[in-house]
């Protein structure tokens, strides 16, 4: 029997982002964006080298952040997806070149990724992000008549987190009574 007959994806697990500082990232995702911390841990040992291929002696700090589902977009009310924040603490014998940080990718670069959230209070969170000097990538745009009907009226922007991660915020139009 071919392996394709036995392999099956059972469901979505999580999305991971490697960060410079677990503390700064938790502040962004939890305090600024208001998402819950599901759990945190510090990992050492063979798993830190076997799974991600990090140099021997590395320590890995992780935090899982809860991401609520959006029922109108096909999600299940009450179900929480997970975002894993990962900080690698490499041993001192690792060269600076190996420790170097990947520069921020631009939104249009091949392989660039972003995470999108439906929000209320878009202007307030954009202001908080600006105060922290993390920044708005472009500007806030309201989808208009030239855009596809399902997204007309949505206010959308990209913001950057402390490690340059791109987060898309979407505020749905207010329903008329």
Could you list the mean pLDDT of each consecutive 10-residue stretch along the chain, which spans 177 residues?
A: 62 85 95 94 86 87 89 64 91 81 70 85 91 88 86 90 89 78
Of 93, 128, 156, at which residue does a domain stop?
A: 93
- Say if residue 67 is in the same domain as residue 89: yes
* Within a domain: 141: yes
- Give residue 62's pLDDT: 93
* Within a domain: 1: no
User: 116 forms bridges with which residues in the sheet?
Assistant: 168
CA distance 28 to 26: 5
pTM over 0.95: no
Distance in Å from the first CA to the final CA of the chain: 59
- Give residue 4's pLDDT: 55
* Within a domain: 4: no
The tally of domains found in the chain comes to: 2
- Say if residue 116 is in the same domain as residue 166: yes
* Within a domain: 101: no
- Say if residue 88 is in the same domain as residue 116: no
Backbone Cα Rg of the chain: 19
- Say if residue 136 is in the same domain as residue 176: yes
- Give residue 102's pLDDT: 66
Q: List the domain range (segments joined by +) for residue 135.
A: 107-177
* Within a domain: 102: no
- Say if residue 79 is in the same domain as residue 124: no
- Say if residue 61 is in the same domain as residue 121: no
Alpha helices in the chain (DSSP H): 3-6, 22-26, 46-50, 96-99, 122-131
Of 70, 93, 116, at which residue does a domain stop?
A: 93
pLDDT in tens, 76-110: 666 678 999 999 988 889 888 777 666 667 777 77
- Give residue 71's pLDDT: 63
* Within a domain: 5: no
User: How many residues make up the chain in this entry?
Assistant: 177
* Within a domain: 98: no
- Give residue 97's pLDDT: 77
- Give residue 75's pLDDT: 59
Measured torsion, CA atoms of residues 70, 76, 79, 81, in degrees rounded to the nearest 10: -60
Question: Residue 61 maps to which CATH number?
Answer: 3.10.180.10
Of 65, 93, 121, at which residue does a domain stop?
A: 93
């Amino acid at each position: 029997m071919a392996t394709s007959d036995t392999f099956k994806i059972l469901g979505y697990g999580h999305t991971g982002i490697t960060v410079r500082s677990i503390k700064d990232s938790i502040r962004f995702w939890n305090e600024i964006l208001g998402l819950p911390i599901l759990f945190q841990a510090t990992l050492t040992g063979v798993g830190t080298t076997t799974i991600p291929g990090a140099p021997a002696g590395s320590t890995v700090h992780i935090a899982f952040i809860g991401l609520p589902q959006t029922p109108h977009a096909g999600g299940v009310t009450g179900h929480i997806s997970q975002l894993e924040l990962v900080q690698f603490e490499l041993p001192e014998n690792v060269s600076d070149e190996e420790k170097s940080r990947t520069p921020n990718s631009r939104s249009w670069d091949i392989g660039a990724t972003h995470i999108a959230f439906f929000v209320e209070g878009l202007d307030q969170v954009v202001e908080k992000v600006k105060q922290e000097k993390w920044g708005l990538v472009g500007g806030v745009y309201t989808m208009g008549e030239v855009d596809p009907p399902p997204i007309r009226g949505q206010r959308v922007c990209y913001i950057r987190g402390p490690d340059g991660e791109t987060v898309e915020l979407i505020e749905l139009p207010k329903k008329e009574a």
